Amino acid sequence: MKLFYHTGFKPWSDFLKLPQKKGLTPKSNALFTQNSYNICMKTYAYTHDPIPFDFQQSVERFHVEEIPLFAPSGRGEYLLMDIKKQDLSTWRLLNIFKEATGADDREIGYAGLKDKNATTIQRISLPKKYEKMLKHITTERIEILAKHYNHLPLKVGQLKGNRFEIILTQITENSAKHFEKIAQKMSHEGFPNYYGYQRFGEDGKSWEQGKEIAHSGKRLKGAKEKLLVSAYQSYLFNRWLSQRISLSQVIAKNTPAQAVEILGYPAPLIEDLSRQPQFFKLFLGEALMQYPSGKQSYCKDSYFDAGRFHKREIAPTGLLAGDQVSRAYADARHLEQPHDDEELTNLRGDRRLAWIWPEGFSCSYDQQKEALAVRFTLPKGAYATAFLEEVGKYSLKPERKR
């Protein structure tokens, strides 16, 4: 919001700290309270009517293929393998390779975790010296599709994204056409990058355990504790993102004068936000990132950066609270701070893209089966279910079995 530095205005975060005149008390907190967020009750960015369909995550109906970050060199001391697995978590897959080859945990590399209830293709790495031991892998749920050699092992995060093919059933032809129309719109305009319900366990409350562990001050023990604390990080991120979507909805649905009344923000700020061409509004001090990955920067001129955001050159990021993480400043920090936890220091923090664009969307409808096959690609770390929920406008989290 360069406006406030060049017209004598202070950033609105300072404005909110000043004594307020009657009628200008900030009302944004009424839109969203810290304790009101439910992982199944997130705020959707789009306003179309819900689209009914049946979603089941299974090996027959949910396919995902990892898109590697780099091509193997063809030589070296490491073996890279493209693995097709069914009904296996990545952790179980790695354990099978460990048991079959005798490799140590630290010798087996992978780029990302893939779903258990799915057919997935992902790449893992091993020192080449274990190649002869692969013959001991006999399970039919694992197929080695290709082998490559490379000078270096795989590390977590070394992937471009994931390609999905998902079959939705119990969807009428009209609903399928509506689904395609909305999905194509999202391909052009993007959608919020929420963490999926899978991140929070069967009961949706694993983040609560993570919060307790994070506040204990002790060093994390094992992968389970790290997973629980990361679920708490994800919860805070989703809560922040839901608030930001709510705020952007107010700007999108109302005149500037109405938005001033609803939010209690100063009129020049609202006018500045309203002029931005994209739905998700940028604030001064926003932590930005080259899209889909790259150098981080901060928003110093909202109108200029909004243009770059609109062209997919950059995108805003949200905080994953933790140690050694950069935080937003000024106005954006004012919105971020209620969803931060500076006591969370036993796990490294990060920043996550808040807004992403699906690519390569296509679909085909089977009228006889009333089934729609959808295909699309998302950046690494993004959840296909978050995309489907934004289109369908309801939670896909299965009911917990009692």
Domain ranges of the chain: 2-49+192-356, 70-156
Written as tens digits, the pLDDT of the chain (402 aa) is: 333 432 333 455 554 443 333 333 344 444 444 444 565 568 999 999 999 999 999 999 999 999 999 999 999 999 999 999 999 999 999 999 999 999 999 999 999 999 899 999 999 999 999 999 999 999 999 999 999 999 999 999 999 999 999 999 999 999 999 999 999 999 999 999 999 999 998 888 999 999 999 999 889 988 889 999 999 999 999 999 999 999 999 999 999 999 999 999 999 999 999 999 999 999 999 999 999 999 999 999 999 999 999 999 999 999 999 999 999 999 999 999 999 999 999 999 999 999 999 999 999 999 999 999 999 999 999 999 999 999 999 999 987 655
User: In terms of CATH, what superfamily is 70-156?
Assistant: TruD, catalytic domain (3.30.2350.20)
For the question of residue 115 being annotated catalytic, the response is yes
Q: Which of 82, 115, 323, 350 is catalytic?
A: 115
pTM: 0.90
* One-letter-per-residue 3-state SS of the chain: CHHHHHCCCCCHHHHHHCCCCCCCCCCHHHHCCCCCCCCCCCCCCCCCCCCCCECCCCCCCEEEEEEECCCCCCCCCEEEEEEEEECCCHHHHHHHHHHHHCCCHHHCEECCCCCCCCEEEEEEEEEHHHHHHHHHCCCCCEEEEEEEEECCCCCCCCEEEEEEEEEEECCCHHHHHHHHHHHHHHHHHCEECCCCHHHHCCCCCHHHHHHHHHHHCCCCCHHHHHHHHHHHHHHHHHHHHHHHHHHHHHHHHCCHHHHHHHHCCCHHHHHHHHHCCCCCCCCCCCEEEECCCCCEEECCCHHHHHHHHHCCCEEEEEEECCECCCCCCHHHHHHHHHHCCCCCCCCECEEEECEECCEEEEEEEECCCCEEEEEEEEECCCCHHHHHHHHHCCCCCCCCCC
Query: What topology does CATH give the domain 2-49+192-356?
Result: Pseudouridine synthase (3.30.2340)
